[in-house]
A and B are shown apart, each in its own frame.
Chain A
Amino acid sequence: MCLGIPGQIVSITDAGRQMGMAEVSGVRREVSLAPVADRPLEALVGEWVLIHVGFAMAVIDEHEAQETLIALRELGEAQEALEQMAEGDRALAGVHAGEGTA
């Protein structure tokens, strides 16, 4: 849960709730932009952020974000984060974890 993963903000999904769509290693996931909303939300589209448990915690340099993603992929940690995100989706769908995932 302490693992952070870089993602790119591709759109604002709900300005009222400060939510945006992030793309992480080709997977899209809605995240909260609240911690980095010290600027107009629209200005965050295209930016890379460090995502912790569904919250964009810091804006990071694009090159650095790409390199971090490559490193996390090599270590299998990007996969771990993506699996946790998928787990969240399954929980929302009411599917009990472990079923049909083997």
Chain B
Amino acid sequence: MRYVQEFRDPKAAQGVLRAIEAVCTEIGCTADDPLRIMEICGGHTHAIFRYGLDKLVPAGIEFIHGPGCPVCVLPMARVDDCVEIAEQPGVIFCTFGDAMRVPGTRKSLLQAKADGADIRMVYSPLDALELARRNPDREVVFFGLGFETTTPSTALTLQQAKREEIGNFSVFCNHITVPPPIRALLEDPHMILDGFVGPGHVSMVTGIHCYDFVADEFGKPIVVAGFEPLDLLQSVLMVLRQIAEGRAEVENQYARVVPEHGNPVSLAAIADVYEPRPSFEWRGLGEIDASGLRIREGYRAWDTEAKFGIGYGARPKVAEPEGCACGAVMTGRMKPVACPQFGRGCTPDTPLGALMVSSEGACAAYWTYGGARAVAAAE
């Protein structure tokens, strides 16, 4: 089962689905007493809705959509920081396109751009570094955002900036890491989870042993998964088999891309450039210990926080907008359609909460693949 066409083969999917049904029967999970399986990665959330996998699996399985969309969990105060930096004279502010529409207290980056700030959407942090080379009289800031999948790209870019002594470039670091929020969720007494589908491309960088604690300390199965429908179904089956057999292990369904010990160059670059912050705020989840990264002393000259005097936590925390239930949705306590704002005050065109902004947010995915119809049908 190596190639994509095989990962979309309806016959193979039927086979896996039948196996899933058999294990569900063996475990005895039902719609009233379902097994709750969390997919951590926003890419998986997107794929589950796109292929309707939540409807394909037996009613005894409930998908809980985890906090794995970096745009969605970014606290509003950090968006305000971005706008403040971008509006300073002489700054070219570079960002991935995904972050442009995230609402801040005053405005989003998109609105700041419309108001005249020089904000550029770039594909890669290397584009931002190139802008710094070409504009030596301007201060170029790159908005570093994302999990371990994108963290190596900014780390390697900062190493390059230091080697070339490009002084007018810096990174506004908002990188976060996957294992700490999993621990926080497992320690939350209100959260009842039976197992995890682990992120694929994060694990390509980290390897699979950063999840050992999920199995060893909390006794929950976790299976690192690919992004094709059959990858996800097979991973769910692997989680179920562990539960049925009373095992709790870290397994790797996505071994065709994920090496057991990750990518050594990327891990070395991350360790060289970044260190954990004592804690970092996650939208909907609050402060989580050692879940965010900051730039080490040796790269201070390329650290936007040092350069612009913007420390983490200096700005007062910003409450979620009135009626926004992103936090409850993100911890699995509420389904997107149960939010009073879903499809009314909050749509992908006019997002109120972060889960509606990115295509990997649970609400946006839900809306795009059937939620809009659900709201229309209810009215």
Instruction: Flag whether B315 is at the interface (Cβ < 8 A).
Output: no
Q: Would A2 and B149 be within 8 Å (CB), given that A17-B160, A91-B131, A92-B130 are in contact?
A: yes
Does A53 contact B120, Cβ atoms closer than 8 Å? Answer: no
Instruction: Pick the contact of A2: B120, B150, B152 (CB < 8 A).
Output: B150
A75 to B96, CA, bound (A): 21
Residues 99-136 of chain B, each 1 if its beta carbon lies under 8 Å from chain A, else 0: 00000000000000100000011111111001100100
Determine if A53 and B124 form an interchain contact, defined as CB atoms under 8 angstroms apart.
yes
Closest CB in chain B relative to A91 CB, distance in Å = 4
Counting CB contacts under 8 A, is B97 at the interface?
Answer: yes
Contact B156 A71 (CB under 8 A): no
Residues from chain A with Cβ under 8 Å of B126 in the complex: 32, 54-55
User: How long is the Cα–Cα vector from A88 to B127 in the complex, in angstroms?
Assistant: 6
Q: Do A55 and B264 touch (CB < 8 A)?
A: no
The answer to whether B125 touches A54 (Cβ under 8 A) is yes
Contacts of B123 in A (CB 8 A): 53-54, 84-85, 87-88
Q: Smallest distance from the beta carbon of A59 to chain B beta carbons, Å? A: 10
Q: Which residue of A lies closest to B257 (CB)?
A: A58
**Chain A binder among B2-10, B81-89, B239-247:** B2-10
1/0 per residue, CB under 8 A from B, across A73-102: the answer is 001000000001101100110001100000
* Mask of A33-76 contacts with B, CB within 8 angstroms, 1/0: 01111100000000000101111011011011001101100010
| Interface bin, chain B | 35 or more
Which residues in A have their C-beta under 8 angstroms from that of B269? 34
Asked if B264 and A52 sit within 8 Å, CB to CB, the answer is no
Interface size class of A (residues with CB under 8 A): 35 or more
Contacts of B131-181 to chain A: CB distance below 8 A: 131, 134, 145-147, 149-150, 152-153, 156, 160
| Shortest Cβ distance from residue B307 to the other chain A in the assembled complex, whole angstroms | 21
Contact B124 A88 (CB under 8 A): yes
Interface residues of chain B: helix, strand, loop or mixed (majority): helix
* Residue of A4, A32, A35 with most chain B CB atoms under a 10 A cut-off: A35
Given contacts A1-B96, A68-B4, is CB(A34)–CB(B156) below 8 Å? yes
What separation, in Å, do the CA atoms of A50 and B3 have in the docked complex? 15
Evaluate whether A53 and B96 lie within 8 angstroms (CB atoms) in the complex, with A1-B145, A17-B160, A63-B3 already known. yes
Q: Would A34 and B4 count as touching, CB distance under 8 A? A: no
Cβ distance A11 to chain B, nearest Cβ, rounded Å = 17
**Interface digits, A15-38 against B, CB 8 Å rule (1 contact, 0 not)?**
001000000000000011011111
CB of B127 within 8 A of CB of A92, answer yes
- The answer to whether B150 touches A34 (Cβ under 8 A) is no
Of B3, B50, B153, which is within 8 A of A55 by CB?
A: B153
* A38:B96 contact, CB within 8 angstroms: no
Chain B residues contacting A53 (CB-CB under 8 Å) are: 96, 123-125, 150, 153
Q: Is B294 an interface residue (CB 8 A)?
A: no
- A58: B residues at CB distance < 8 A: 204, 257, 263
Q: What 7 pairs across the A-B complex have the smallest Cβ distances?
A: A54-B124, A88-B123, A67-B4, A91-B120, A1-B96, A88-B127, A84-B123
Known: A63-B3, A67-B4; 16 extra A-B contacts, CB below 8 A, are A1-B146, A2-B41, A2-B42, A2-B43, A2-B149, A4-B149, A4-B201, A35-B265, A53-B150, A55-B124, A55-B126, A55-B152, A64-B256, A87-B121, A92-B131, A96-B113
Listed by A's residue number, 7 A-B pairs whose Cβ atoms lie within 8 Å are: A2-B41, A50-B204, A54-B125, A75-B50, A88-B124, A92-B130, A97-B121
